[in-house]
Amino acid sequence: MEETQDFESEFSEIKSKLFDIHNDMKSFIEQANQQHMDTVLQHLKNDYNNTIANHLSEEIRTGLSKNMVRKCERREECASDFTSLLESNTKMIRQNTVSEKSIAANRKKLEEVKNILPYKKCSTCYSELTDLFSKQVNLMHSMNIYDENQKHGKDMGSLPIQTIVDDILEPVCHRTRMEILRAVYSETKTFSSLSELTGLRGGNLLFHLQKLSDSGLIMQRHERGDYMITACGFRIMEGISKIYGSLNPNDEEEKCKSEVTEFSSYPNMPA
């Protein structure tokens, strides 16, 4: 009788330890998965920022070359100064950090350049410089890496409803487009892989890809290249995930409970 009680006590202790090991392994796997996802997302973000910065660098080169006054002895000198100023913005985009102080400093340099330009025709070149500068700042806003965009507590009455419907709600309110966004959320996808995923071919799939592309939610690496999510698309998917989680808070809790119940259903398993 005493041996039976000892055996039951030891068996209960073993099951208790197994239960603890199960929880430790589950916690480890969850943390490992989260770390992997964080790493993947960081690489994706860096890849996206570098793609945008490379595009901007090319736009600086072609824009200045094409639109600056050709017959001017200061053309090369000004082009070099303009490029240096604009590339300081692209560097911040690559680093994914833009402060109001940095933008203000570059705006001040922009004004200083204007004050030292000696010729009437300089207005043509300066106009191209300011246009490129404005495009860069607007892009920083859209990528949500400009500190000015980090203000919260916005008045609901000032929300642009039609813009929200056209640029956010309407593009994602189709199952196929949500499947595409979910697929490219953490990795790039080829047209073929998206076709296999959605079951659509040719023009039918291209219609949805074009819709997402026109709305600025996805982009191609280059012509006929893989599709990848944009910063705007990424933020929208993050927002959708948070909304779903807030409306369905019991989903994950019920999943955890079911695992614990299944494990604790054995005899003498501690609750």
CA dihedral 145, 137, 237, 206 (to 10 degrees): -150
Q: Which residues pair with 48 in a beta bridge?
A: none
Q: pLDDT tens string for the chain (271 positions)?
A: 555 555 566 656 666 666 666 666 666 666 666 666 666 666 666 677 777 778 788 888 888 888 888 888 888 888 888 898 888 888 888 877 777 788 888 888 888 887 777 777 788 888 888 888 888 887 777 676 764 544 444 557 777 888 888 888 888 999 999 999 999 887 888 899 999 999 998 889 999 999 998 888 888 876 677 888 887 888 888 888 888 887 876 665 555 445 444 434 444 433 3
Handedness of CA 20, 22, 28, 31 (dihedral sign): negative
The C-alpha torsion from 231 through 237 and 243 to 249, rounded to 10°, is -120
pTM: 0.42
Reference 176, options 192, 149, 197; nearest CA is: 197
pLDDT at 176 (0 to 100): 93
Residue 256: predicted pLDDT: 47
Q: How many residues does the chain have?
A: 271
Burial of residue 248 (CB within 10 Å: 0-12, 13-18, 19+) is: exposed
- pLDDT for the residue numbered 267: 44
User: Residues 139, 166: contact at Cβ < 8 Å?
Assistant: no
In whole angstroms, give the CA distance from residue 266 to residue 115.
82
**How far is residue 77 CA from its own chain's centroid?**
37
Q: Is 212:233 a contact under the CB 8 Å cutoff?
A: yes
